[in-house]
Amino acid sequence: MAFEYHVRPDGDDLAVGDVLHPFATISKAAAVARPGDTVIVHDGVYREQVDPAHRGISDLERITYRAADGEHPVIKGSERIDTWVRDRGDVWRVTLPNTFFGDFNPYREPIFGDWLNTPDHRVDKPKHLGDVYLNGRSFYEVTDPAELDDPQVRTTVVDNALQVVRPVDDPDQTRYVWYCEVDEHAGETTIWANFHGADPNVELVEINVRRSCFFPSRTHIDYISVIGFEMAQAACPWAPPTAPQIGMVGPNWARGWVIADNHLHDAKCSAVCLGKEESTGDNEWYRTERKTGYQYQLEAVFKGLRIGWSKGVVGGHRVVGNTIHDCGQNAIVGHMGCAFSTISRNHCYRIGLKREFFGWEVAGIKFHAAIDTVIDHNDIHDCSLGLWLDWQAQNTRVSANVFHHNVRDTMIEVSHGPCLLDNNVFASPCTIQNFSQGLAFVNNLVCGTIDLHRVMDRSTPYHFPHSTEVAGCAFVSGGDDRYRNNLFTAPCGADDCPGLAALDAYAGYPTSLDGYIRSVHEAVAEGVQGGGDPYPVQPLYVGGNAYCGVQTPDQEPDALHTEEPVSVQVEETPEGVVVTVDVPAAVAARRESVVRTADLGTPRIVEALYENPDGSPITFDADITGERRDGPSVPGPFVALHAGVNRFVCARRTV
């Protein structure tokens, strides 16, 4: 028999937990809920880390935690502090016993790990997982107490992927800062903060003290639903693919979670984590430098296979309809545990823009080994990088998303296909950094540059179709990409962006497998005579694209071309993200045949089809808004495109 438990802040954990006698904490309900049970959480602030003790056993017998209808429960990783003492001027301090933090003191724990660039543990003083909040506003940590007295101090960092120095995002020019010291001998932690005239004992001042808000301490706590909460202010650690990836909310190496319709913000690093667990590696590169990060990450894949990384055992999550913002590293992160999942209709913004720390793992969504994963109808904007698919993005489908106002929209790294991007709007100056091969782009609107890279120093895994079983490893020779029925326009504001407009970066690439094989034979012959490259670039397969204000590639001489660019504007509204497109008449009149799986072939290395996760073929007969392509239609993601100004509502809000 399934039970329904209720939780209210004025309840009692010694009560029975029904609607008239609710529990006081979600943790109490999480200790007793069994498969099929529902935990209904009512209005209030819950300062706890929920650690569910039991798992669901199937999609039909899951354990569901949800907000009561029309109510707004908030889970916080922080505690309110109102015992501040004025130290000097606007600087106040508070001293807390280390026992206040239990076995996890985020003001003792440094931000550290593989691929973290700043702070650099070899030269910089560490920064910590702690934080201070004034009425919800996150402060910056300083490592020199003298900086507490300078409210105008501003910092800049190098965005490593672009090598561009950018200022910290702080629009009012006032930087709220804090500093901490932990005295192990005295058993005390002291925090200083500059509140710029506010009284911290009157205003709402919080410090984060818990690593997560809703995260099991054990693996394989399967089939859990978390629906309708606000979660904030968790001290979750840096989450590279070679570490135990711990987020503000997540399954911790399990299967079948549903994380839906939540408002998630101010995670120190990552809000939603679908990632790996500790036995497959814990920052050994950072800790020992015995091997490279690449080698440890390669080992993590095979260690994951040894502990059961496979379909039906790990992954298969649904992250749907969440609003996620103001996180230091990721909105959603995962290595291996993200496989077979659906990431849909989320609104992710202001991720990685605080730049209090920086490394190579920062993006709105950052996945490694997203096998058979669908990322669709998301709105991702104002991020240092919107979407980063890294290692083994195989049979990953990125569909009907809107990317805008990002430093870069998308990066796909050391993957071998098939990886599919269709019906997306890429509206930032830098559309894609392609460190992969075997990608297919179908019916996208591309407003920025494309930056191509070969990767001949990292041989990375690929898999048998729809499986985690490794079929081999390969380098990235470049190319083997498909572009069908896309609409390209001139990049706007791309002077400092890497890459070239439209398909200019593919100049000189062959157009067929036979042409590629001939170039291999020629390169080998030249190499025998001295100096030739035995690994030429692979083919570019193109057809049905339209080029507006940009050059038509040599590989598609008969494509539609206009000197007039397409004007594109993107704005956020309560109903969703609105894309306004002003197109030339020639584009609106163009008709191209609907693309199908059979039209895309197979990537050279993996030899698998561009198809659905269940193995069925795809017909690209729906656009980004759901409008049907009943026959030949205009290139790009919009079917109902007419000459002049068009307005489309995409990625409609669900919360």
CB atoms within 10 A of CB 144: 9
Assess if residue 177 is contained within a domain.
yes
Helix (H, G, I), strand (E, B) or coil at 93: strand
What pLDDT is attached to residue 160?
A: 37
φ, ψ of residue 149 in degrees (nearest 5): -95, 0
49, 96: one domain: no
Residues 31 and 151 in one domain: no
Q: What would the mean pLDDT of 402-413 be, rounded to a whole number?
A: 97
Query: Which pLDDT belongs to residue 163?
Result: 31
d(CA 73, CA 9): 10
Question: Has residue 612 been placed in a domain?
Answer: no
Please list, in sequence order, all residues whose beta carbon lies within 8 angstroms of the beta carbon of residue 497, skipping any fewer than 6 positions away: 162, 408, 429, 430, 448, 449, 451, 491
Q: Is residue 310 part of a domain?
A: no
Q: Please, what is the Cα angle at 312 between 2 and 400, to 5 degrees?
A: 95
Mean pLDDT of 68-91: 98
Mean pLDDT, rounded, for 635-650:
96
pLDDT band at residue 198 using 50, 70 and 90 as cut-offs: very high
Answer yes or no: is pLDDT of 167 > 80. Answer: no
Same domain, 34 and 100: no
Q: How far is CA 610 from the centre of its chain?
A: 23
Contacts of 373 (CB under 8 A, 6+ apart): 338, 339, 340, 341, 342, 343, 367, 396, 397, 613
pLDDT of 533 reads 61
Calpha distance 518→525 (Å, rounded): 11
The reply to whether 47 falls in a domain is yes
CB 521 within 8 A of CB 536: no
CB 536 within 8 A of CB 527: no
* Residues 25 and 55 placed together within one structural domain of the fold: yes
The answer to whether the beta carbons of residues 602 and 608 sit under 8 Å apart is yes
Q: What distance, in Å, lies between the first and last C-alpha atoms of the chain?
A: 31
143 plus 55 within the same structural domain: no
- Give the CATH number, domain containing residue 19: 3.30.1910
pLDDT attached to residue 526:
75
- Phi, psi angles (nearest 5°) of residue 260: -140, 145
Q: From residue 78, give the alpha-carbon distance in Å to each of 107, 303, 631.
A: 13, 35, 55
Are residue 124 and residue 204 in the same domain, yes or no? yes
Q: Where does the pLDDT of residue 175 fall: very low under 50, low under 70, confident under 90, or very high at 90 and above?
A: confident
Tell me the three state secondary structure of residue 293: helix
pLDDT at 616: 97
Same domain, 53 and 94: no
Q: Residue 161: its pLDDT value, please?
A: 36
Helix (H, G, I), strand (E, B) or coil at 126: coil
Model pLDDT, residue 529:
54
Tell me what pLDDT residue 157 has.
39
Q: Which of 484, 472, 470, 433 is nearest to 610 (CA)?
A: 484
| pLDDT tier, 495 (very low <50, low <70, confident <90, very high otherwise) | low
Please state, in angstroms and rounded to a whole number, the distance separating the CA atoms of residues 496 and 161.
12
End residue of a domain, out of 208, 223, 238: 208
Residue 15 lies in a domain: yes
CB atoms within 10 A of CB 475: 17
- How far is Cα 398 from Cα 484, in angstroms, rounded to an integer? 15
Q: Which tokens in the block code for residue 236?
A: 């979750």
Which of 150, 176, 208 is at the close of a domain? 208
Query: If you ran DSSP here, which 8-state letter would residue 495 be given?
Result: T
For residue 476, is it within any domain?
no
Residues 45 and 154 in one domain: no
Q: Are residues 117 and 184 in the same domain?
A: yes
CB within 8 Å of 133: residues ≥ 6 apart: 78, 139, 204, 205, 206, 207, 208, 233, 266
Calculate what percentage of the chain has a pLDDT beyond 70: 95
pLDDT for 287-336, tens place per residue?
999 999 999 999 999 999 999 999 999 999 999 999 999 999 999 999 99
Q: Has residue 155 got a pLDDT over 50? A: no
* Mean confidence (pLDDT) of the chain: 93
Taking the model in full, what pTM does it have?
A: 0.95
Q: Is residue 89 part of a domain?
A: yes
How distant, in Å, are the alpha carbons of 378, 536, 556, 599, 623 from that of 620?
A: 18, 32, 21, 11, 8
Render pLDDT for 82-130 as a digit per residue (tens, 0 to 9): 999 999 999 999 999 999 999 999 999 999 999 999 988 788 899 999 9
Cβ 550 vs Cβ 507: under 8 Å: no
- DSSP codes of every residue in 537-578: ---EEEES-EEESSPPPTT-TTSEEESSPPEEEEEEETTEEE
Q: Which domain holds residue 134?
A: 79-208
- Whether residue 42 lies inside any domain: the answer is yes
Burial class (CB in 10 A: 0-12, 13-18, 19+), 49: buried
Predicted confidence (pLDDT) per residue in 233-264, tens digit:
999 999 999 999 999 999 999 999 999 999 99
Q: Percentage of residues in the chain with pLDDT exceeding 90?
A: 89
Look-up of token digits 């995409």: 650
pLDDT higher than threshold 70 for residue 166: no
Domain boundary among 149, 175, 208: 208
The secondary element (H helix, E strand) that includes residue 286 is helix 284-288
Domain containing residue 150: CATH number: 2.60.40.1180
| Statement to judge: residues 83 and 144 lie in one domain | yes
Q: For residue 551, give both structure tokens.
A: 């050059």
pLDDT digits (tens, 9 = 90+) for 510-549: 999 999 999 889 888 876 555 556 689 999 999 999 999 9
Element of type H or E holding 598: helix 597-600
Alpha-carbon span 365 to 271, nearest angstrom: 10
- Domain shared by 20 and 86, yes or no: no
What beta strand segments (E) does 21-173 contain? 38-41, 44-47, 63-67, 73-76, 78-80, 85-88, 91-97, 116-118, 132-134, 137-138, 140-141, 156-159, 164-167
Domain count, the chain: 2
d(CA 484, CA 440): 8
Whether residues 83 and 157 fall in one domain? yes
